[in-house]
Amino acid sequence: MKNINKLSNIIKTTDGPFLTVIVPNPLTVSDLSKAKLKMKDVAMQAEEKLRHAYPTINVDDYMKQLRPYTDDPNQWDDVKSRACAIIVGPDRVTVEDLNHEVNQSSVTVSEHPNWLKLAQNTVEQTHLILALNYDSYRLFQASSSHIEELELASDAPGTLPETLGTNELKGGQLNFNSYDGGVSFHGHNEKSQEVKNDQRNYYQAISTYLREHFPLEKTEVVLYALPQNAAVLREALNYDSAISELFEPSSPAKLSMNEISERIATIIQDGIEANINQLHSDYERFTNLGQTTDDLSQLIDCARNGQIETLIICENTSSPGYLTRSELDTSSEFAKKQ
């Protein structure tokens, strides 16, 4: 699992207690109207659980931080995902996008944020899709269930001529014909190498933009490009670990958004199926070696120590319990209500 250290860090957080509120994102006017009513109940649950679990803390401090979000769901305008987690600690509140579906709100209190819900964010990997042509490009963000084109920042490279400028184009006097994102050359004084240098310089500008604006050490780049263009980009990026093994070796130059989305969805799905097959194989192998467990107490200990390689979470299942600083409580009445 990618970014598993994030789960370990959540488990190790001990400056709580924490209140974790998981809520669907009201994306429509109708959803917003319903959310306003539901959030009143959420606020009541949060206050009741805090007072029951931690009678000595100042609950008002927590509610003061939570109420702007429960009183006015418009506070979530900057949340673009399908759901979010509002995490309230003793002296701070954090709102985190969730990349998985949430059907109803939930409220939990513990020494840690609700790590099981937050851990699901590490399961669905997000890809950055670079649809690359010789002299232009587009960026998309894609997961198994959602694809969107990204708006480029003001400092992003434009087309090749816009980025390099006519004074900088070494092959500027060379005539070339574009074909599905590729290029053929003819012209004066054999300037095809200079045109290739222009392409490399342009791709270096694109790679610099990607490195500065996206966490390439965490988010893989899926290339949608002709093989010859992909090869030049790999040279320019000089960071092969950022390039996904998923690759579409064709030109996106004349395709619509829907056509690109359909092809990207197929690529991502093929990758997911390959990962699932590998996961089944790994699970069988590690089970035979005695290196798997479904004991929740052991899982928590392993997570605290950063010893989980892969965490498999079954959809729509839960296990009641209350995690304290020293143990997992699954038997008390309070724990059973979590």
Tens-digit pLDDT profile for residues 102-118: 778 889 888 878 776 66
- Higher pLDDT pick, 259 / 187: 259
Percent of the chain at pLDDT > 90 equals 20
- Higher pLDDT pick, 327 / 316: 327
Region 139-150: mean pLDDT is 81
Q: Average the pLDDT over each of 105-114, 222-231, 258-267, 328-337 and give the range with the smallest value.
A: 328-337
pLDDT-based confidence at 211, cuts 50/70/90? confident
Q: What is the pLDDT of residue 124?
A: 56
pLDDT for 275 beyond 80:
no
Question: Which residues are registered as beta bridge partners of 141?
Answer: 128, 148
Alpha helices in 28-137 (DSSP H): 29-53, 59-71, 115-119
pLDDT for 336 beyond 50:
yes
Which range among 159-163, 168-172, 179-183 has the greatest average pLDDT? 159-163
pLDDT for 291 beyond 70:
yes
pTM of the model: 0.52
pLDDT for 46 beyond 70:
yes
Structure tokens at 313: 């979470």
Q: What is the pLDDT of residue 290?
A: 86
Q: Average the pLDDT over each of 139-148, 275-284, 328-337 and give the range with the smallest value.
A: 328-337
- Higher pLDDT pick, 158 / 322: 158
Q: Average the pLDDT over each of 130-139, 193-202, 222-231, 292-301 and give the range with the smallest value.
A: 292-301
Which DSSP letter does residue 127 get?
E
Q: What is the pLDDT of residue 308?
A: 80
Q: CB-based contacts of 251: which residues, under 8 Å, 6+ apart?
A: 133, 180, 181, 182, 225, 226
- Higher pLDDT pick, 177 / 332: 332
pLDDT for 234 beyond 80:
yes
Q: What is the pLDDT of residue 188?
A: 46
First-to-last alpha carbon distance for the chain, in angstroms, is 26
Q: Average the pLDDT over each of 168-172, 239-243, 325-329 and give the range with the smallest value.
A: 168-172
Region 11-36: mean pLDDT is 74
Q: CA torsion sign, 238 to 241 to 245 to 247?
A: negative
Backbone angles phi, psi at 16, to 5 degrees: -80, -160
Q: What is the pLDDT of residue 185?
A: 44
CA 272-278-279 angle, to 5 degrees, is 85
List, in sequence order, every beta strand (DSSP E) within 122-170: 127-132, 137-142, 147-149
